[in-house]
Amino acid sequence: MSLLAPEAVSRRAAAARRAVVFTGAGISQESGLGTFRDADGLWSRFRPEDLATPEAFARDPERVTSWYIERFEQARRAEPNAGHRAIASWERWFPSLVVVTQNVDRLHHRSGSSDVLELHGTLWTWRCARCGAKRDAAALPEQRPPACVCGGIFRPDVVWFGETLPLAEFDRAAAECRRADLFVVVGTSATVWPAAGLIETAAAGGALIVEVNPEATPLSGAAACVLRGPAGEMLPRWSREIERWRSPA
């Protein structure tokens, strides 16, 4: 559904001063990383309560850490796709562009985005659940589960269900959403809170909301425009549209 003609949206987007891009697992799908809630997503094969909660880690640290080490290896092998690269390239138009991501794969950083807020943490660093010591995922001890010298176990620096989001990142994300005039939501089912609430925050602040997703989401009806398709195709195509309005013939 689109309240404004796509051309009018592109024209308004091209004139924006403060842009925020809010991303979820869908943007990394074309890099070969699984989403969570799609028909073939991670939660169709695994139960979140067995893997993505502090209780699961306490119950079966070997299973949980092995699963996350495998996910880290997949993220490390993956390459940013055309969608990530298109977003990074928007910094030439919007120098204060902020990418607010729910993803833990670091593909936005690796595609050149310079201001990335990771609301759900990262697979790339781990911390000891007992003493808090930090380790790069690539330098974890060999034992499974990976053991710290203090006798504790390393866990990924991600945010599990029931855990609070990193406060500084979330506060800054909310502030950026409040003052954004363009808010582009890419590849998220917009079902996990409090991250999904940022869409409402941006809308309340008056931002133009654009959604990029091959499927309808709870947000679709509230967006000024929906680019219905995969991010790796839609974002480069939309970039060319915006470019046209930035440099009129």
49 token code pair: 């309560």
HSE-CB at 231 with a 13 A cutoff on CA atoms is 28
User: Which residue's C-beta sits nearest to ligand BJW?
Assistant: 26
120 token code pair: 């759900």
The verdict on 230 binding ligand BJW (CB under 6 A) reads: yes
Q: Amino acid identity, residue 199?
A: I
| Least gap, CB of 159 to ligand BJW (angstroms) | 4
The verdict on 81 binding ligand BJW (CB under 6 A) reads: no
Instruction: Give me the active site residues, please.
Output: 120
For tokens 């500084």, the residue is: 168
The verdict on 85 binding ligand BJW (CB under 6 A) reads: no
Q: How far is Cα 1 from Cα 195, in angstroms, rounded to an integer?
A: 23
The stretch near ligand BJW (CB under 6 A) out of 4-12, 33-41, 107-115, 132-140 is 33-41
**Cβ proximity of 246 and 44 under 8 Å:** no
The verdict on 152 binding ligand BJW (CB under 6 A) reads: no
The verdict on 236 binding ligand BJW (CB under 6 A) reads: no
Question: Which pairs with CB-CB distance under 8 Å and at least 24 residues apart come from 222-229?
Answer: 223/1, 223/2, 223/3, 223/185, 224/2, 224/3, 224/4, 224/9, 225/2, 225/3, 225/4, 225/6, 225/9, 226/1, 226/2, 227/6
| Least gap, CB of 169 to ligand BJW (angstroms) | 13
The verdict on 106 binding ligand BJW (CB under 6 A) reads: no
For tokens 């993956």, the residue is: 78
Q: Amino acid identity, residue 195?
A: A
Binding mask 159-188 for ligand BJW (x = CB under 6 A): xxxxxx----------------------xx
29 CB burial (10 A radius; 0-12, 13-18, 19+): buried
The verdict on 140 binding ligand BJW (CB under 6 A) reads: no
Binding site for Zn ion (CB under 5 A): 128, 130-131, 133, 148, 150, 152
The verdict on 32 binding ligand BJW (CB under 6 A) reads: no
**Count of residues engaged in binding ligand BJW, rule: CB under 6 A:** 36
| Least gap, CB of 220 to ligand BJW (angstroms) | 10
HSE-CB at 47 with a 13 A cutoff on CA atoms is 4
| Least gap, CB of 58 to ligand BJW (angstroms) | 15
For ligand BJW, the binding residue among 120, 203, 207, 225 (CB under 6 A) is 120
Query: What does 185-236 look like in DSSP terms, one character per residue?
Result: EES--S-STTTTHHHHHHHHTTPEEEEE-SS--TTGGG-SEEE-S-HHHHHH
| Least gap, CB of 138 to ligand BJW (angstroms) | 18
For ligand BJW, the binding residue among 82, 158, 184, 208 (CB under 6 A) is 158
Residues that bind ligand BJW in the complex, under the rule CB under 6 A: 24-27, 29-30, 35-38, 41, 52, 102, 104, 120, 158-164, 187-189, 191-194, 212-215, 217, 230-231
